[in-house]
């Protein structure tokens, strides 16, 4: 099973350096100089890390041996760097990977079906479940304990207790918008 290590972002400078949207909890190991990473799409790689650096604000930049100028780096924007999962990736305490969640049914705490997990977005503050609702709308559910009550991969479900208005099927009522004295 392939895991996304990073997504290649915009080029930085003229020598092929690119910013990475890191998706691994072990970037020092995964993005070490000399590592060869497979890509999605496959025809963009494999790519060899020739240089890597982390800025004081935590941004990760690399130069790949196969892309040593800005033009080559621009062609890599949006490419996913992937690795085959291994034993080190199996620690359940580290959270969930998108491939483990995609396709799971999303259930409201009261038992109503709300949709299906389409993706897991990893954002700086917290992860977000992208849920396709039965009517085709897309909801973004913060993957935090207060909202996502549990994931049961065996049963194929994610149980949530979302605030009103997060899902199209559960809109905020007009009276919910009124203040305590009935005024908006």
Q: Are residues 112 and 40 in the same domain?
A: no
For residue 113, the model assigns a pLDDT of 92
Write down the mean pLDDT value for the chain.
Answer: 83
- For residue 67, being part of any structural domain is answered with yes
**CATH code for the domain of 103:** 2.30.30.240
φ, ψ of residue 126 in degrees (nearest 5) = -170, 165
Output the pLDDT for position 64: 94
Q: How many domains does the chain have?
A: 2
28 and 102 part of one domain:
no
Output the six-digit token pair for 65: 């041996």
Contact 133, 166 (CB under 8 A): no
Same domain assignment for residues 7 and 38: yes
pLDDT at 69: 92
Question: What residue has token string 């949709």?
Answer: 115
**Which residue has better confidence, 96 or 64?**
64
pTM over 0.85: no
Domain encompassing residue 77: 2-85
Q: Is the pLDDT of residue 85 over 70?
A: no
Q: Which of 6-10, 73-77, 140-144, 175-179 has the lowest mean pLDDT?
A: 175-179
Residue 91 neighbours by CB under 8 Å, 6+ apart: none
Q: Are residues 75 and 111 in the same domain?
A: no
Pairing of strands 105-108, 2-11: unpaired
Average of per-residue pLDDT across 127-154: 90
Measured distance CA(125)–CA(168) in Å, rounded: 24
Which pLDDT belongs to residue 3?
77
Residue 64 lies in a domain: yes
pLDDT at position 165 is: 87
In a domain, 121, yes or no: yes
| Stronger pLDDT, 72 or 125, i.e. the higher one | 72
For residues 81 and 102, state if they share a domain.
Answer: no
Same domain for 42 and 114, yes or no, is no
């Amino acid at each position: 099973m392939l895991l996304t290590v990073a997504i290649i972002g915009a080029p930085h400078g003229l020598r092929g350096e690119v910013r990475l949207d890191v998706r691994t909890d072990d970037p020092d190991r995964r993005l070490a100089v000399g590592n060869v990473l497979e890509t999605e799409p496959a025809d963009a790689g494999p790519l060899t890390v020739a240089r890597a650096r982390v800025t004081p604000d935590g941004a990760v930049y690399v130069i790949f041996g196969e892309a040593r100028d800005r033009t080559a780096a621009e062609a890599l924007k949006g490419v996913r760097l992937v690795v085959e999962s291994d034993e080190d990736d199996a620690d359940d305490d580290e959270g969930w990977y998108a491939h483990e969640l995609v396709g799971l049914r999303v259930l409201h705490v009261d038992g109503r079906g709300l949709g299906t997990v389409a993706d897991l977005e990893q954002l700086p503050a917290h992860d977000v479940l992208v849920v396709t609702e039965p009517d085709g709308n897309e909801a973004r559910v913060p993957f935090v304990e207060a909202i996502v009550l549990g994931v049961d991969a065996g049963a194929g479900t994610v149980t949530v207790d979302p605030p009103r208005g997060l899902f199209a099927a559960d809109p905020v009522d007009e009276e919910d918008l009124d203040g305590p004295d009935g005024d908006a």
